[in-house]
């Protein structure tokens, strides 16, 4: 699988994992303190080939994602679940630990966060669905993030992420139906 877009990752190990999974070029941020030179490279890549931001599913990875999105809007975002990014023996989390299949799947599902945000799913919808506050809310958010391929969020971030990715009421309802079916079966 050859990708046109350039993938932004955190470091060399992530680049090696990407190259095992797909034929793609990468830009490495070398951590969460992204400098202006790296931002300029990402801007150029976005105008010439497009960019997919693919950072670790942890706090520093989310910080990098937000920083890039602030300076280079319109990039696609790819997400790995924490399970897919866990090292053997639970010693670390990151893109470098993911299988080639998990990386290909995440890249295939990459999508753009929209600047003009319209609210389709309200905070009341999230409360009613048991996604914020209450017993099991975190586990339901984890499952929703997997089903919608928007990554894990805490309760405060979920509403914003659903709006940024313009998740429709239909997509949301379908994901909730799958979650309820899995809860009943599981």
The pLDDT, as a whole number, for residue 1 is 74
Residue 132 lies in a domain: yes
pLDDT digits (tens, 9 = 90+) for 96-152: 999 999 999 999 988 887 665 677 899 899 999 999 988 999 999 999 999 998 888
**Between 173 and 163, residue with greater pLDDT:** 173
CATH of residue 93's domain is: 3.40.50.140
Tell me what the pLDDT averaged over the chain comes to: 89
- The pLDDT score that the predictor gives to residue 102 is 93
The pLDDT of residue 3 is 87
Please say which residue of 112, 133, 163 terminates a domain. 112
- Reported as a single tens digit per residue, the pLDDT across 20-74 is 999 999 999 988 888 999 999 999 999 999 999 999 998 899 899 989 989 998 9
Decide: 31 and 60 in contact? Cβ < 8 Å: yes
pLDDT (0 to 100) of residue 71: 93
Contacts made by residues 156-160, CB under 8 angstroms, sequence distance 24+: 158/126, 158/131, 158/132, 159/121, 159/122, 159/123, 159/126
Output the pLDDT for position 32: 80
Straight-line distance from the first to the last Cα atom of the chain, in angstroms, rounded to the nearest whole number: 35
* CB distance 102 to 18 below 8 Å: no
Q: How many domains does the chain have?
A: 2
Domain boundary among 89, 112, 135: 112
- Residue 78, domain member (yes or no): yes
If phi > 0 it is left, if psi is from -120 to 50 it is alpha, else beta; for residue 102 that is alpha
For the stretch 81-90, pLDDT in tens is: 888 888 777 6
d(CA 182, CA 68): 35
47 occurs within a structural domain: yes
Range of the domain at 104: 6-112
Do 17 and 53 belong together in one domain? yes
Angle, alpha carbons 178-96-24 (nearest 5°)? 90
């Amino acid at each position: 699988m050859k990708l046109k877009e350039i993938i932004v990752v955190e470091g060399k190990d992530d680049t090696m994992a990407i190259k095992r999974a797909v034929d793609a070029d990468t830009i490495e941020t070398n951590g969460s303190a992204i400098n202006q030179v790296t931002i300029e490279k990402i801007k150029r890549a976005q105008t010439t080939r497009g960019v997919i931001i693919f950072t670790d599913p942890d706090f520093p990875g989310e910080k990098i994602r937000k920083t890039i999105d602030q300076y280079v809007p319109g990039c696609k975002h790819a997400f790995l679940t924490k399970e897919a990014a866990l090292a053997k023996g639970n010693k670390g989390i990151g893109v470098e630990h993911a299988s080639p299949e998990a990386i290909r799947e995440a890249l295939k599902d990459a999508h753009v966060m929209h600047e003009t945000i319209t609210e389709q799913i309200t905070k009341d919808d999230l409360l009613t669905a048991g996604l914020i506050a209450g017993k099991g809310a975190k586990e339901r958010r984890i499952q929703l993030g997997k089903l919608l391929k928007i990554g894990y969020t805490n309760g405060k971030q979920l509403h914003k992420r659903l709006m940024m990715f313009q998740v429709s009421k239909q997509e949301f309802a379908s994901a909730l139906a799958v979650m309820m079916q899995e809860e009943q079966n599981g």
